């Protein structure tokens, strides 16, 4: 009987180890902080991009989904802003895989108002 109790406890423990990550994926839990920091670091490598914010991450199967807002000079052309987003997308896909779903929202850099 004692062996049966020990085996049943081990089965329950393994079941939780398998179920918890699956539930987190279904609930679209964010990626670990280290990965999010790495994403922000990659974005910040582009000198024309400032203040990445509103980062949302999740796992889609074996791949990642990344959504983030970036700020650029409001006077650059739409073409240049598009080039910057493509550069960032390529860097992120190089690090996290070609099937990574990436959405970059471009905003102008906010001007500081004198008070």
Q: What is the pLDDT of residues 17-72, one digit of tens each?
A: 999 888 877 777 888 999 999 999 999 999 999 999 999 999 888 899 999 999 99
Helices (H) and strands (E) in the chain, counts: 3, 3
How much of the chain, in percent, has pLDDT values that exceed 70?
A: 97
pTM of the model: 0.76
Structure tokens at 21: 């990550």
- pLDDT score of 100 more than 80: yes
Fold topology of 31-108: Alpha-Beta Plaits (3.30.70)
CA distances from 15 to 18, 35, 89, 111, 112 (A): 5, 26, 37, 53, 54
């Amino acid at each position: 009987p004692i062996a049966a109790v020990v085996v049943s406890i081990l089965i329950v423990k393994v079941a939780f180890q398998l179920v918890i990550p699956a539930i987190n994926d279904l609930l679209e839990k964010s990626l670990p902080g280290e990965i999010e920091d790495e994403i922000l670091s990659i974005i910040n490598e582009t000198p024309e991009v400032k203040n990445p914010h509103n980062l949302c991450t999740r796992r889609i199967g074996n791949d990642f989904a990344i959504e983030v807002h970036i700020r650029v000079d409001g006077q650059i052309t739409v073409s240049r802003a598009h080039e910057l987003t493509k550069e960032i997308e390529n860097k992120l896909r190089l690090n996290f895989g070609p099937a990574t779903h990436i959405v970059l929202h471009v905003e102008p850099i906010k001007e500081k108002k004198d008070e």
